[in-house]
Amino acid sequence: MKKLLTKKIVLPILIGVVFITGSAFKNDFFEIAKQIEIFTTLFKEINMNYVDETNPADLMDTAIKSMLQDLDPYTNFYNEQDVEASRINNTGDYTGIGASVLTLKDKLVIIEPYKDFPADKAGLKAGDEIIKVDQTVVADFNDDAGNLLQGTAGTTVEVTYVRQGKTQTATIKREAVEIHAVPHYSMIDDKIGYVVLRKFNEKASAETINAVRVLKSQGAKQIVLDLRGNLGGLLNEAVNVTNIFIPKNQLVVTTKSKVDKYNKTYYTQKEAIDTEIPLVVLIDGRSASASEIVAGALQDLDRAVVVGARSFGKGLVQRPKSLVYGTQMKITISRYYTPSGRSIQSLDYWNRDESGKATRVKKENYTAFKTKRGRTVYDGGGIQPDVELDITKLSPITEAIVNEHLIFDFATDYYYSHKVTDLKSFKLTDADFNAFKAFLKANNFNFETKTEKAFDDALLVAKDEDLNGVIDAQYNDLLKSLNTYKTKAIDDNKTQIMGLLSEEIVKRYFYREGMYTYYIANNTEIKKGADILKSPSTYLSHLQ
């Protein structure tokens, strides 16, 4: 009832109050003042007179979050803890236990302990489920329980965790933790260097420059820049990373907004490190924001061959705005455009479908643009690679398996039932794949296709029209066909699933460094990028 009141009464009044600009404020001053007065009066009356006890902070939090849901997913409100988390993400520094942690309702799951940092030293492993931090039970903690693990360097925290059904405790001494934007760089062979850029924080360009220089000193004549899984970050760092390979005074990105001061053009400001070295950029469906600016600029300027799968297609720029009491909001202020003039935004948040989901720009509505050398590229659908690889794009069933953490959970079980000591000889077998399929069944994995959902909806309509008796037999036959398809789909995606399983399992035994070593020897995208670079004629053919 409380949520209904908030959404039906409070929410409509809030819309338009927070998101205002200087010019809008002047033009709509009366309307804004009127709505603020209505809201404050209503908010007071609800909290003073509603039949049950209300929590003003919870009501307001629900109202704000519900209002923002009507916009894009990147316009967000941050409380004091969120502001600190955002600072950590941008700087790459924090003080804590040194582990990637997933916050769930009743526990904190260790996703990855960083090698030689406090959690690792204390013996914590990926898959450990923290249920208590000092004397605080995670299930009883209302805020983000992950914040309990942070604190002053040198202080200790006791965690109670569950591992393979057994409850254990560990005392961890907090340290300053540095999260690198470039977690790995190395030589693929005697001529090709490999650089992994995982996020665009304040250190992204500096770390990438250092990696490129070191690799060149080791003999690198070509570079593979890996932006897969890079969700983005700071726009100016995207410009600086592009500047490594693009000369000074070259347009990288343009932002356009309804507010004049946010309409900007961003050019490279420095002399490039190397404008000639052949370059391959790897992207996937989780390459977004600043990653797309870099990949899009290098593609438009015919400076790199882009390999992998279509990027996410964000196309929007956010800016933090300070609010009262240490809170903050991040608001979408503009769209960005690559050097050729294209917007790669793929989701339309203003024209949603019947279920309220943002609609995807249809391919027939894409507009063609030209790169510097006259190649055709398109807007509206993320960055389309010059060389598309089917294995890079997660199939629907693989994505469902990943989203339910079943790859992660299987890797946890595998770690405690198998001994792996040699990275070079590690390889999953058909027996392991069959074990994974049994694991999916044991965990009641049930992938509902869009077709299946549509059939279910159609059957409900048929029941309302008393037609279900006519179509029951055909409906059951369709369900059988779909179940056969889903069973077959797992086998059809064996290569993709086995690759994800191998990477997650390798990380358990040999940390992230071992995973990248495994990548270089086995990853399809890296091998394809290297093959392109090894053939000058093939490389140039993709840029003409």
Report the relative pairing of strands 93-96 and 175-178 from DSSP bridges. Answer: antiparallel
Long-range contacts of residues 182-187, Cβ cutoff 8 Å, at least 24 apart: 182/207, 182/208, 182/210, 182/211, 183/512, 183/516, 184/512, 184/513, 184/516, 185/211, 185/214, 185/215, 186/215, 186/516, 186/517, 186/520, 187/215, 187/218, 187/219, 187/220
pTM: 0.84
- Distance from C-alpha of 516 to C-alpha of 182, rounded to nearest angstrom: 12
Ranges 70-84, 368-382, 516-530: which has the least confidence: 70-84
Six-digit token pair at 158? 């006791």
Residues forming a β-bridge with 78: 328
More confident residue, 303 or 79: 303
Question: Of residues 186, 205, 287, 289, which has the active-site annotation?
Answer: 289
The model's pLDDT over 102-118, given as tens digits with 9 standing for 90+, comes to: 999 899 999 999 999 99
Tokens 């490279």 appear where? 268
Q: Choose the weakest-confidence range: 39-53, 313-327, 449-463.
A: 449-463
pLDDT-derived band at 431, boundaries 50, 70, 90: very high
C-alpha radius of gyration, the chain, whole number: 26
Active site residue 422: no
Average pLDDT of span 488-504: 95
The percent of residues above 70 in pLDDT, for the chain, comes to 87
Instruction: Give the Cα separation of 195 and 27 in Å (integer).
Output: 50
- From 132, 314, 507, 528, active-site residue: 314
What's the CA gap between 30 and 95, in Å, rounded? 47
CA distance 330 to 83: 10
| Other Cβ atoms closer than 10 A to 521 | 11
- Tell me which residue of 103, 160, 154, 116 sits closest to 135, measured CA to CA: 160
- State how far the Cα of 97 lies from the Cα of 151, in Å rounded to an integer: 9
Confidence of residue 69 (pLDDT cuts 50, 70, 90): confident
Q: pLDDT tens, 441-485?
A: 999 888 766 666 666 666 666 666 665 565 666 767 677 777 777
Residue-level pLDDT at 364: 83
User: Taking all residues of the chain, what is their mean pLDDT, rounded to a whole number?
Assistant: 88
pLDDT of residue 455: 63
Q: Which two tokens stand for residue 360?
A: 């995807």
Torsion region of 168: left, alpha or beta (phi above 0 gives left; psi -120 to 50 gives alpha): beta
Task: Tell me the pLDDT band of 89, cut-offs 50, 70 and 90.
Answer: low
- pLDDT, one tens digit per residue, over 370-404 is 999 999 999 988 999 999 999 999 998 999 999 99
Compute the distance between CA of residue 143 and CA of residue 294 in angstroms, rounded to an integer: 36
Q: How far apart are CA 257 and CA 332, in angstroms?
A: 9
- Check pLDDT > 70 for residue 524: yes
Give the pLDDT score at 7. Answer: 45
Q: Is residue 417 annotated as part of the catalytic site, yes or no?
A: no
4: pLDDT strictly greater than 50 = no
The one catalytic residue in 82, 120, 284, 300 is 300
Q: How confident is the model at residue 29 (pLDDT cuts 50, 70, 90)?
A: confident
- Residues with Cβ within 8 Å of residue 6, at least 6 apart in sequence: 59, 62, 63, 66
The yes-or-no answer on residue 300 being catalytic is yes
* Of 287, 416, 389, 401, residue with least CA distance to 344: 287
Look at residue 274 and tell me whether its pLDDT is greater than 90.
Answer: yes
